[in-house]
Copies of this chain bind each other. A is one copy, B any other.
């Protein structure tokens, strides 16, 4: 159990365990930053966070306080217990070398949240292919209901804003300070978190 606030440097990521009943608070210390969050059952990593099941059961693409986050086996992994921002994304995969190549046209792309999560989760046995759509804390993605067009807008989070989850099973959690300029209003920033 961590009782101090942990720091994730800009464009990096980490992974750690959170026990059932513990809370995880993800903090945006400077505002307008995104944190990609993934989780896996600590006792069976074949069970992973599922956006498709969560959004189907919620009948909503925007989740907030009171909403459960389900696994690919339809078990509740996390539940949002406090949310100062109210806008997060659960549609898009973590940014990656391919994101930067395809969307930004970078010739020497950063490994992105995908690479950071893959590296951080490797010691827990999670393979890159098993990295699903993340719950992207503070990411502000709007959808045009008529055309279906997606726009990535600056996060609504102000300095110090946070979202707090309770774990409903023992989890391995992957968490990043997002590496994509589009998500963060053009500036890379850190993320902080607290497990208690």
Contacts and interface: CB of A to CB of B under 8 A. Distances in A.
A188 interface: no
Interface string A120-163: 00000001010111000000001111011111000000000000
Which of under 10, 10 to 19, 20 to 34, or 35 or more describes the interface residues of A?
35 or more
Contacts of A129: 46-48, 72-73
Contacts of A73: 98, 129
Contacts of A60: 147-150
Contacts of A133: 51-52, 133
Interface in A59-85: 59-62, 72-74
A47 B128 CA distance: 10
A169 to B, nearest CB: 15
Interface string A98-123: 11001100000000000000000000
Nearest to A142: B145
Contacts of A72: 93, 129, 131
A23 interface: no
A96 interface: yes
A75 B113 CA distance: 18
A92 interface: yes
B145 A56 contact: no
B145 A59 contact: no
Contacts of A46: 127, 129
Contacts of A149: 59-60
Interface of A: 46-48, 50-53, 55-62, 72-74, 91-93, 96, 98-99, 102-103, 127, 129, 131-133, 142-145, 147-151
20 contacts: A46-B127, A46-B129, A47-B129, A53-B98, A55-B150, A56-B92, A56-B103, A58-B150, A60-B149, A60-B150, A61-B148, A62-B148, A72-B131, A73-B98, A74-B98, A132-B132, A133-B133, A142-B145, A143-B148, A145-B145
